[in-house]
Structure 1
Amino acid sequence: MSQPTQSTKLTQRSGRWRVWHRWLSLFFGVQMVLWSISGAYMVFFELSFIHGDHLVRPVAQQLPVTAQPAPLNQVLKAFPRAREITLQSTLIHGSMVPTYKIFGHRTTQLINAQTLERLEFSQADITAISNVYYAATDTPKIRSVEYLESQAPSEISASLLPVWQVNYDDFANTSFYISPRTGELLTKRHDFWRGFDFMWMLHIMDYETRENITSWLLRIFILGTGVLMVTGMVLLIFTLRQKPTKVAS
């Protein structure tokens, strides 16, 4: 009975490693493809584009020439707990009105700089303010305007509530989120941002909050991918060590 040759032993060993490599490829290979696709998407687009900076035009905060705001000491008397006060102009009822923004310990509010009355924005005011910010076209087309008070969509933080959501009928399905207290643009979203957020979820493997970059699932797959690479290198070594079979003439 002939003894197995060195080449036969190498073939048997490489066969066992090849089985492991195939199973690891089946289990971890899909995630490697997802890492490649999601990484390519996130690298391809500029962050400023993903953030939607191109959708917003700068809004001048110049006060009307005829503005006569109340003295600051009068404002402090009416709002003794104010930590910071800024004077600005705000679009209300179709015209720019001088306003004071009052920063408190937990909240921020907007008051009329002349009467010191708290300002409230109607849906028409929010729509007009949003259109002033909107830079994609000079004739914006709004799909819907909603006041979100108790449940935030997954694309924004619940800490922004309550907030006005203005949805535009454009190529990227842009959404502006406007503060009901100050009329400021808090954040903006569009389909390319939503795609980035989805790819980020696939990349870090956090399918709930999309924030945890050190989850055990991610660590396990990183370790498994490393083992997959090791088995591939071992198979390469076995392949290089095997002598080519001579064909008898």
Structure 2
Amino acid sequence: MSWARVSAKVHKWLALLMAIQILFWFVSGLFFAIAPIETVRSEHRIAELPIQPVSLSTAAIGLQRIAGSQAAAADKIELRSLLDKPVALVSNGEARPRLYNLSTGQQISPIPASMAVAIAERDHDGDERAARVSQVTENTTEYRGPLPAWRIDFEDGANRALYVAADTGAVTARRSTLWRTFDFLWSLHIMDFKNHEDFNTPLLIISTALALIVIVTGIIMFPSRFGYHGWRKRRKARREARAAEARA
């Protein structure tokens, strides 16, 4: 049996076996190419807010207030503004970060739901107000950021949800219907149907190897499908006929 015939059989059955997954790869790949990643991440809906620097004098006095409150030691201190108020984010190794109000020296983390809503509404570009707020204490396929966190939902036509970390007051994720569609197609693309993030799964490796065999066998079949082998046989027969005539 020729290589072309063997390749034809292997190609046919493997292509039948892999058809759905190959379809998923092409559909998801087309979607990824069309959808701008900035839009998927809702970066186009981030409000442009003026930068509010914290003066050194405010920082120095505020840190003295924090030290006077018997706060634990820190190996990193970040100064910034939060809802127009100067704050300090104090971190120490693997411990949960602490957020302090520099004006009072008081710890304000974990932030309450009302503050998380205010942060999300300020970050979200548009006139929509928060429709729902809920606490997040476990990571999911939609959110794998710092915990605990607050989820703030907006009814803006895109089912957008913003996640605000309770310990830092930072917006750590922006989700929408477009993002969820992207994430679902990504899970099909990398064949991680549970966590949607591992692209080194044995299933993906095996499927990719089988798809590669489909391509290679298709290449081997290519000449015979376009009549190359038949053309060679006919050409050889004509040469032999002419040789026979010459000898006669």
Alignment TM class, shorter chain as reference: 0.7 to 0.9
Specify whether residues 73 and 236 from structure 1 end up closer, same or farther in structure 2 by C-alpha distance, changes over 3 A only: same
Confirm or deny that 1:237 pairs with 2:223. yes
TM-score (norm 2): 0.78
Residue in 2 that maps onto 1:144: 132
Cα distance, 1:61 vs. partner?
4.9
Q: Equivalents in 1 of 2:5, 2:54: separation in Å?
A: 82
Confirm or deny that 1:130 pairs with 2:120. yes
Contact 2:132 2:153 (8 Å CA) reproduced: yes
Q: Equivalents in 2 of 1:131, 1:86: separation in Å?
A: 23
Equivalent of 1:104 in 92, 116, 133: 92
Confirm or deny that 1:27 pairs with 2:17. yes
SS in structure 1 opposite 2:85? Answer: strand
Specify whether residues 144 and 17 from structure 1 end up closer, same or farther in structure 2 by C-alpha distance, changes over 3 A only: same
Cα distance, 1:126 vs. partner?
1.8
Structure 2 portions without partners, runs of 5+: 235-248
Cα distance, 1:74 vs. partner?
4.7
Residue in 1 that maps onto 2:33: 43
Which digits, 9 at most, give the CA deviation of each residue in 1:186-222, with x for residues without a partner?
A: 1111121111111211111111222222222112112
Which digits, 9 at most, give the CA deviation of each residue in 1:69-109, with x for residues without a partner?
A: 63534534533512222333322xxxx33322222222211
SS in structure 2 opposite 1:34? Answer: helix
Specify whether residues 17 and 166 from structure 1 end up closer, same or farther in structure 2 by C-alpha distance, changes over 3 A only: same
Equivalent of 2:140 in 153, 157, 163: 153
Residue in 1 that maps onto 2:185: 199
Residue in 1 that maps onto 2:196: 210
Contact 2:62 2:104 (8 Å CA) reproduced: no
The size of the alignment, in residue pairs, is: 226
Residue in 1 that maps onto 2:166: 180
Contact 2:41 2:179 (8 Å CA) reproduced: yes
SS in structure 1 opposite 2:131? Answer: strand
Which digits, 9 at most, give the CA deviation of each residue in 1:216-244, with x for residues without a partner?
A: 21121122112212332333322321259
Residue in 1 that maps onto 2:102: 113
Cα distance, 1:167 vs. partner?
0.8
Q: Equivalents in 2 of 1:63, 1:15: separation in Å?
A: 73
Cα distance, 1:39 vs. partner?
0.7
SS in structure 1 opposite 2:192? Answer: coil
SS in structure 1 opposite 2:52? Answer: coil
Contact 1:87 1:113 (8 Å CA) reproduced: no
Q: Equivalents in 1 of 2:183, 2:198: separation in Å?
A: 13
Equivalent of 1:53 in 22, 43, 66: 43
Q: Which one is further off, 163-172 or 71-80?
A: 71-80
Structure 1 portions without partners, runs of 5+: 1-8
